[in-house]
Structure 1
């Protein structure tokens, strides 16, 4: 068995332009650019494929990384997966921070969707300059709600596996308070 994992070391995505990406994440997201690797040969495969690999600190020891690959075909996304599925979600402290982030993003000319209610958290959504969908979320659930969801998770997965229909074991998640 693999020894217990400590945390995610980094998550890596492709970017169109490493410099533009670093500048955007610093300016818009407040991340700190920490490290870069540039090679002509891929260390893990030995392939000749020049790249720039950049790393940004995004809080709590979490690192987001990007690869610029100038000799590869233009980047795209899976045409069979809706744009809303693949995304990176970052946590903010509370609803006030979420609303402040939305105002900051919109002041930068970035289109923002939300806040969207998800039962135990609220989120806003937007895209980076590479077309990656980003989410900012703040937790709003109680300890009891998170405990109930953890208990229901196996039942919901089993029902989904059998029926491929959304189980409604946690119907309260779908009703915004006061609605």
Structure 2
């Protein structure tokens, strides 16, 4: 039986490995852990030089990037809105999120938010590769999280049939979000 312990790393493509490392070190205070470079892809044996870098995203979480200079320039899926694909990092609380927003803005980063999601609050911004990032803090109660888990199966079933937003958790974005 498969027993996932945690995500070891999530890997994305970057335009420039050095610029990416420096941006994450400067803007998000991440530690640069490891760099691996090869002329051949280990899994497929394809001749394709790459730089693979790993950054400490806290609590054993690792954010990784590949620079692959022999491939066409990276782009986004034009059919997917920018806000959909993103990496969310958790901070301690609202104060930490607002302090991070001020720090990012002082470092020249454009920040959207804060945005209220009922059980979490978030801010959003982009890295130099065009990847959308989110800093979020959890404020939902155990009861709210329990209710969301309970309605999740019914919501996915309704969505599968109607492709319209089920209202089981509409309280998340209402002024008073206590279910």
**TM-score w.r.t. length of structure 2:** 0.97
Alignment correspondent of 1:173: 172
- SS of corresponding position for 2:23: helix
* 2:30 counterpart residue number: 31
Give the equivalent residue in structure 1 for 2:16: 17
8 A Cα contact 1:33 1:57, kept in partner: yes
1:129 aligns with 2:128: yes
| Helix, strand or coil at the partner of 1:103 | helix
SS at match of 2:24: helix
Look up the match of 2:83.
Answer: 84
Offset, 1:94:
0.2
Report the alpha carbon displacement of residue 140 of structure 1 after superposing the two structures with TM: 1.1
- State the distance in 2 between where 1:124 and 1:177 align: 20
Q: Structure 1: which 5+ residue stretches go unaligned? A: none
Displacement, 1:172? 1.3
Counterpart CA distance in 1 for 2:170 and 2:123 is 22
Aligned to 1:45: 44
Q: In the alignment, which residue of structure 1 is the partner of 2:113?
A: 114
| TM-score (norm. length: structure 1) | 0.97
1:103 aligns with 2:88: no
Give the C-alpha shift of residue 106 in structure 1.
Answer: 0.5
CA–CA distance in structure 2, aligned partners of residues 14 and 156 of structure 1: 33
**What's the secondary structure of 1:173's corresponding residue?**
helix
Superposed CA deviations along residues 82-123 of structure 1, whole A, max 9, x for unmatched, are: 000000000000000010010011001111000001110010
Could you tell me which residue of structure 2 aligns to residue 154 of structure 1? 153
Q: Shift of the alpha carbon at 1:175?
A: 1.0
CA-to-aligned-CA distance 1:111-162 (integer Å, 9 cap, x gap): 1000001110010000000000000000111110000000010011111111
In the alignment, structure 2 segments of 5+ residues that lack a partner are none
* Number of matched pairs: 177
